[in-house]
């Protein structure tokens, strides 16, 4: 980010100038690398820009004001999409969290917006009373309250920053398409690393249990068991999000369970582990692994853009007891078969 402080040393309006930061619309290599690191959870916290008023291009007192969050990825996406436009960016302090999450928490909210309008002395920079907010900020903002306290009109722009130019060119009007949240394959895929990595970290103790059990086991766990577990994790955290609208069922846990079942059956079937003579073990595998996928898939509701809390509550109420029961029974059978049944458990 090329954030140069425009601070002069002599003139009287030094302070006024300093209150505004100027910023360009092109992203540097470090911006791009930073975004990649955030997605993969490397130093993900604290990726923020300073709140306040920014000048993009050479705005004057009639230039539009776009309001956004101080999460750096949001900020970067916004300025990239505003390329070529002279405008003001009013950045709220959302603790470095994106607009959508911050609106849900209320940090991208009515009070902060009113405060930021005053603190940045916005009305000294523009002569109009019009703010453009991302529509996804609406769950935190009450437009008529903002108007009442600050005099500024809140206009909700498009959901996606990439539609902003079109919105501006259309005279600040959104189409229904621009107002609707999509959850495209790409939207879903960029979220999967943050599902997969924590799930793999949580798997380490499971591998530890296998290792310890192998000291006593009649039939040791082998690499197929590890692959089957990894497959179940991937089915829940990557495949389910990727194929979300195409998998039968509405509940995420059902979708995850189906893919987990497919994954487990293929991996163990191909490796010859699902054998008639070890029915208990096969049952154990088929109870345990799909339950893991179902649980992980259910957690993806938190990242999705269309699940209601009432719906998720119902899903958790119904699915979680089944998942826990299947997982526990499956784990007991799998572990028991490996510990006590010589030769028949594995190949």
Partner 1 sequence: MKHRYLNGVTTLEYNIDKCVGCGKCTEVCPHGVFEMALGAKASVFQRDSCMECGACALNCPTGSIEVDAGVGCAAAITLGWLRGKEPSCGCGGSECC
Point out which residues bind partner 1 (CB under 8 A): 38-39, 44-45, 47, 71, 73, 96-98, 100-105, 135-136, 138-144, 156, 159, 174, 176, 179-181, 183, 191, 194, 244-246, 250-252, 298-299, 301-316, 320
Residue number, 64 or 241, with CB nearest to partner 1: 241
CB of 10 to partner 1, least distance (A): 41
Residue number, 38 or 218, with CB nearest to partner 1: 38
Could you give the residue ranges of the DSSP H alpha helices within the chain? 14-18, 29-39, 72-81, 99-105, 110-119, 122-125, 143-150, 164-169, 176-179, 185-216, 223-234, 240-243, 252-270, 279-299, 309-340
| Contact criterion met (CB below 8 Å) for 23 and 3 | yes
CB of 259 to partner 1, least distance (A): 16
CA 100 to chain centroid? 10
Residue number, 84 or 309, with CB nearest to partner 1: 309
What are the structure tokens assigned to 230, written together?
A: 């990894």
Residue number, 15 or 322, with CB nearest to partner 1: 322
What are the structure tokens assigned to 62, written together?
A: 């009639």
CA-only gyration radius of the chain, Å: 26
| Contact criterion met (CB below 8 Å) for 49 and 36 | no
CB of 314 to partner 1, least distance (A): 6
Residue number, 54 or 100, with CB nearest to partner 1: 100
Cα dihedral: 96, 100, 103, 104 (round 10): -110
CA 3 to chain centroid? 27
CB of 275 to partner 1, least distance (A): 35
CB of 3 to partner 1, least distance (A): 20
Residue number, 205 or 309, with CB nearest to partner 1: 309
CB of 315 to partner 1, least distance (A): 7
């Amino acid at each position: 980010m090329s954030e140069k402080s425009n601070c002069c040393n002599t003139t009287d309006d030094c302070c006024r100038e300093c209150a505004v930061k100027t910023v360009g619309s092109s992203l540097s290599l470090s911006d791009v690398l930073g975004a990649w690191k955030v997605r993969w959870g490397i130093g993900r916290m604290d990726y923020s820009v300073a709140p306040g008023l920014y000048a993009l291009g050479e705005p004057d007192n009639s230039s539009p004001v776009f309001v956004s969050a101080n999460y750096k990825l949001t900020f970067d996406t916004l300025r990239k999409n505003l390329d070529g436009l002279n405008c003001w960016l009013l950045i709220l302090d959302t603790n470095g969290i994106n607009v959508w999450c911050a609106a849900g928490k209320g940090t991208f909210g009515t009070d902060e917006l009113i405060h930021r309008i005053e603190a940045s002395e916005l009305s000294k920079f523009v002569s109009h009373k019009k703010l453009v907010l991302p529509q996804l900020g609406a769950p935190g903002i009450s437009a008529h309250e903002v108007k009442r306290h600050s005099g500024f009109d809140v206009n909700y722009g498009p959901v996606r920053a990439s539609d902003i130019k079109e919105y501006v060119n259309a005279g600040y009007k959104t189409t229904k398409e621009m107002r609707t949240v999509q959850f495209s394959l790409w939207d879903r895929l960029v979220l999967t690393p943050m599902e997969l990595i924590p799930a793999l970290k949580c798997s380490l103790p499971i591998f530890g249990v296998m290792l310890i059990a192998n000291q006593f086991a009649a039939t040791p766990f082998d690499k197929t068991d590890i692959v089957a577990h990894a497959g179940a994790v991937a089915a829940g955290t990557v495949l389910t999000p990727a194929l979300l609208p195409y998998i039968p069922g509405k509940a995420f846990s059902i979708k995850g369970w189906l893919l987990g079942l497919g994954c487990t059956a293929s991996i163990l079937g191909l490796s010859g582990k699902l054998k008639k003579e070890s029915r208990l073990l096969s049952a154990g595998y088929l109870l345990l692994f799909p339950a893991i996928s179902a649980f992980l898939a259910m957690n993806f509701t938190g990242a999705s853009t269309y699940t209601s809390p009432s719906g998720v509550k119902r899903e958790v109420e119904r699915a979680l007891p089944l998942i826990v029961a299947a997982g526990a029974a499956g784990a007991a059978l799998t572990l028991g078969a490996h510990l006590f049944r010589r030769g028949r458990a594995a190949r």
